[in-house]
């Protein structure tokens, strides 16, 4: 059981007079402490990754595919605008090109309605 890091003795005891004799011992204690912190950080990273990966699904889009974009808005009291009432997604948009594995360049999809027929122009 670990109690407030008491097993990591870094400073020499009060009755010991020469501090230079304890440098190798302090170095060893710091190395143990460093390795313990490193292992704990790695374990925390793996747990966090596992929780994220449970709900993540890989998705990839191709050019000219129709998508909806998430709408990021802020409330503005001076304009009497509440962000929680805004649309969560806006669109539709067309994928123009893939910039990186997670970033896409979008272009507007213009919809023209003429005599009950729908024409889409990109």
**Which residue pairs from 109-113 have beta carbons closer than 8 angstroms and sit at least 24 positions apart in sequence?**
109/66
Q: What confidence category does residue 28 fall into, taking pLDDT thresholds of 50, 70 and 90?
A: confident
Percent of the chain with pLDDT over 90: 34
- As a 3-state breakdown, the chain gives helix, strand, coil percent values, each rounded to 5, of 35, 30, 35
- 91 pLDDT tier (thresholds 50, 70, 90): confident
Give the whole-angstrom CA distance, residue 4 versus residue 11.
15
* d(C-alpha 1, C-alpha 104), whole Å: 51
If you average pLDDT over residues 25-49, what whole number do you get? 92
pTM for this one?
A: 0.47
Q: φ, ψ for residue 5 (rounded to 5)?
A: 70, 25
Residue 57 tokens, joined: 């699904």
pLDDT band at 26 (very low <50, low <70, confident <90, very high): confident
């Amino acid at each position: 059981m670990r109690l407030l890091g008491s097993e990591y003795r870094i400073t020499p005891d009060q009755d010991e007079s020469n501090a230079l004799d304890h440098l190798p011992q302090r170095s060893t204690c710091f190395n143990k402490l460093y390795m313990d912190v490193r292992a704990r950080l790695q374990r925390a990273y793996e747990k966090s990754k596992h929780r994220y990966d449970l709900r993540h699904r890989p998705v990839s889009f191709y050019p000219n595919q129709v998508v909806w974009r998430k709408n990021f808005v802020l409330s503005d009291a001076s304009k009497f605008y509440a962000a929680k009432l805004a649309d969560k997604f806006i669109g539709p948009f067309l994928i123009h090109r893939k910039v990186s594995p997670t970033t896409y360049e979008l272009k507007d999809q213009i919809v023209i309605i003429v005599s009950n027929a729908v024409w889409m122009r990109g």
